[in-house]
Amino acid sequence: MDNTEKQLLKIIADMEGTPEGAYNIRSNGSLAERHVTENVDIRTKTDKPGIDIIIRPGTKGETVHIPVIISETGLSEMVYNDFIIGDDADVTIMAGCGIHNCGDEESRHDGIHTFFVGKNAKVRYTERHYGESDGKGDNNMNPTTVINIAEGGYMEMDTTQIDGIDSTYRITKAVVEKDGTLVIREKLMTGGTQHAETDFTVDLNGENSGANVISRSVAKGNSTQIFRSNINGNNLCSGHTECDAIIMDNAKVSAIPEITANHLDASLIHEAAIGKIAGEQLIKLMTLGLTEQQAEEEIVNGFLK
């Protein structure tokens, strides 16, 4: 693995050297490295590209890394990853894709991740997307996440896309059963002529189920963003969806939060706010000796933390 690939792994998965625990590294369309543990098995699918990650019931405190890196121009791939998290497990999964496009052709990674979160299991899932280019080729990613949370299950999903992705369309669909909880936090920044679409749909089917979907985004240059979120309350449940965006330059942002109550005891809230950086924020930081550009960067970085 060369220095470029090592740097990508550090950015998208906090990997420096060999990580502890189970991991599966995919590089330029093929398996690069894999390690399994007593409680975490990783198997290559036989019918299509992708892997099955099987976590034994009762597993506690393990971290699984499954990064994807692309350093070839013109490479386009689609993978299917299934996560089977056993009952009462408590684990962290670090995913993400990094692209270093060294040429003039499109490099693209699309993936469908399907989660089966067992009864009373807890999952913290982190997914980071990053791209960089030496040439004129686009870096494109289209992730789809399908989440099934069983009774009493809990899942946190943190997604980050901060730099270098020319086009992305993220689809997330979730079903939450009795006493289950889903928390989604999205951080997104686009610039230049980049385009990003996010589409979240959550069905709160179980009694006392809950969901909290929060998006923070910054749009710069001539970039465009579209945020859609739909929470369906189908039982006694609570749901909240929120989109906050900072718009700069000639960018365009559309926020479309939607809530649907299909049950008398469904309690749902949606919020959306889009605006530019407030002048008083810039002035306050500039009085501390920052330039206007430095002040903008500080505000944006703080907003996306």
pLDDT at 285 over 90: no
pLDDT, residue 134, reads: 77
Q: What is the pLDDT of residues 286-298, one digit of tens each?
A: 888 888 888 888 8
Q: What is the pLDDT of residues 260-282, one digit of tens each?
A: 999 999 999 999 999 998 888 88
Cα 275 to Cα 43, 83, 247, distances in angstroms: 46, 38, 6
Do residues 108 and 78 touch, judged by C-beta distance below 8 A? no
CA 210, chain centre distance (Å): 19
Mean pLDDT calculated for residue range 242-264: 96
Q: How far is 110 from 50, CA to CA, in rounded Å?
A: 11
Type of residue at 142: N
pLDDT, residue 61, reads: 94
Q: How far is 60 from 40, CA to CA, in rounded Å?
A: 11
pLDDT at 184 over 80: yes
Cα 267 to Cα 10, 244, 263, distances in angstroms: 41, 21, 9
pTM for this prediction: 0.94
254 vs 4, residue with greater confidence: 254
